[in-house]
Amino acid sequence: MRYQSLPYMYDTLPFSPTDPEYSWQNTALCQYVEEKFRDVCRRFGYREIRTPILEQTELFTRNIGKGTDIVSKEMFSFQDRGERDISLKPEGTASVVRACIQNSLFADYPMLKLYYIGQNFRAERGQKGRYRQHQQLGVEAFGIADAQVDAEVIALAVTFYRELGITDCELKINSVGVPESRQVYGEALREYVRPYLSEMSEDGQKRFEMNPLRMLDTKSKGDLKILEDAPHLVDYLDPESREHLEKLQAYLSALGIAYTLDHKLVRGFDYYTKTAFEIVGRHLGSQSALGGGGRYDALVKECGGAPTPGIGFGLGMERCLITLQEMGISLPLPQGASQVFMIVLGDEPELLRRSLQILMELRANGIAADRDFRSKKFPPQVKTADSLKAQYTLVLGENELAQNVIQLRNQSTKEQREVALGSLVEELKRLFA
Ligand code: AMP
């Protein structure tokens, strides 16, 4: 084949791919999940924001953190023709913050609840559940520092999964404190690891130097063993962060949301403060995080805005679809695109012209109508109608045209009757009402 999609980038098709392993790469499934997300967001009072796919590189290097994998080696960055350093968006939050500052939203809306559905790009080593282009469904709530909002944001994510039928997942929470407490903890962690440093993985050793907390976010069995008795971040929290965490736990309990406190949960970006959380699935192998997020009270100021607290999350679309597939959950997808399929018997010019007009009239009246332009005979056309699962067929021939009527046939009961062309739209609207 001459052209192939790039490594770890995939197509989403209107038909399920023949290989069942990839049947999740289906547009109807994506649309269903997106609609569910929009619906849950609407009920929680969130409005949609859309930001460009390209941004200045510095927006990410400054805010995600130079020591993170994404910034150090995984961004798709290049110079445009004006020699500007630009990058494909690796995550959603920094762009949303930039857009809100640029459009004065923080000033105009002191309580701002936004959601987005967007594509992210990371030049990661791909595997199941890990792609170089992936889609995230995310929310950001700005302006409120109170832990009630943390609980509400988490409840939104939990509601979304619950309503999709993904009950088989675990909520993990932690607090990463504030930069000062994190610094003290980072040093304590270094002190603890130092005697074993030469036994740590190469990645672990790098993180020891660059960003010690990230040592905790490892999949290396050796590193995990070394870290087993490492000091816990919660024991180093400043009093305010500690109180915030306690309040969040109480609110989650009040909402009946089960969680575990995970001392090793630190998340991939440097901008988090206080709350960090992740929703972990059981069907994703090593790429087990369905989604995650946290509070980022210093980010807006970092990006040049007035100090504004914020909290948000990003949920991975692909991992959600894979989980639905592996759990055997079948979503109530709309059946067949075509409600009505027109069968035209013959190829006389007037017949073809009229058939096109009738199709247009049906579509203009909100009815999904189609025909097979390849044949003038009945059997191949009815076969196409069946393959598209059309509920009704309309048969138009020379005789019907002469009498200004059409044959209306119910494809499941096979009942057929004649309808005057002048009342066809009304008749079909009544049937589909
Ligand atoms: P992050 O932005 O890294 O916090 O990721 C949030 C969520 O996005 C993760 O929990 C995953 O579900 C999803 N995700 C992140 N990176 C990828 C990727 N490379 N491929 C597919 N999904 C991803």
- pLDDT tens digit sequence for 369-381: 999 999 999 999 9
Higher-pLDDT residue of 255 and 18 is 255
pLDDT over 80 (residue 105): yes
Higher-pLDDT residue of 70 and 138 is 138
Pair of tokens at residue 269 = 């970006």
> Would you state the pLDDT for residue 335?
65
pLDDT over 80 (residue 268): no
Binding-site residues, ligand 1, Cβ < 6 A: 91, 122, 124, 129-131, 134, 136, 268, 289-292, 314, 316, 318-319
Residue identifier of the C-alpha nearest atom 10 of ligand 1:
291
- Domains of the chain, by residue range, sit at 20-178+238-326, 340-432
> Would you state the pLDDT for residue 65?
77
pLDDT band, residue 247 (cuts 50/70/90): very high
Average pLDDT over residues 18-38: 94
How many other CB atoms sit within 10 Å of the CB of residue 42?
12
All residues at 6 or more sequence positions from 409 whose CB lies less than 8 Å from its CB, including other chains:
392, 393, 394, 395, 415, 416
Best residue among 10, 318, 321, 323 to mutate for probing ligand 1's pocket (most ligand atoms within 8 Å of CB) is 318
CATH T-level assignment (fold) for domain 20-178+238-326: BirA Bifunctional Protein; domain 2 (3.30.930)
pLDDT over 90 (residue 96): yes
Residue identifier of the C-alpha nearest atom 16 of ligand 1:
130
Average pLDDT over residues 307-329: 96
> Would you state the pLDDT for residue 388?
87
For the chain, the C-alpha Rg in angstroms (whole number) is 28
pLDDT over 90 (residue 175): yes
pTM score, two decimals? 0.92
pLDDT band, residue 222 (cuts 50/70/90): very high
Best residue among 130, 139, 174 to mutate for probing ligand 1's pocket (most ligand atoms within 8 Å of CB) is 130
Average pLDDT over residues 112-141: 96
CA 125 – ligand 1 centroid, Å: 13
pLDDT over 70 (residue 418): yes
Average pLDDT over residues 157-169: 96
> Would you state the pLDDT for residue 1?
82
> Would you state the pLDDT for residue 336?
61
CA 81 – ligand 1 centroid, Å: 30
Q: Mean pLDDT, the chain, as a whole number?
A: 94
> Would you state the pLDDT for residue 271?
85
- What's the rounded Cα separation, in Å, for the pair 341 and 372? 8
- What's the rounded Cα separation, in Å, for the pair 258 and 261? 10
Best residue among 282, 319, 321 to mutate for probing ligand 1's pocket (most ligand atoms within 8 Å of CB) is 319
pLDDT band, residue 333 (cuts 50/70/90): confident
Return the percentage of the chain with pLDDT > 90, whole number.
Answer: 85
> Would you state the pLDDT for residue 433?
86
* 340-432 CATH: 3.40.50.800
- What's the rounded Cα separation, in Å, for the pair 246 and 344? 70
Point out the ligand 1 atom lying closest to the alpha carbon of residue 290: 12
The answer to whether 46 and 40 have CB atoms below 8 angstroms apart is: no
- Pairing type for strands 260-261 and 54-56 reads unpaired
pLDDT band, residue 337 (cuts 50/70/90): low
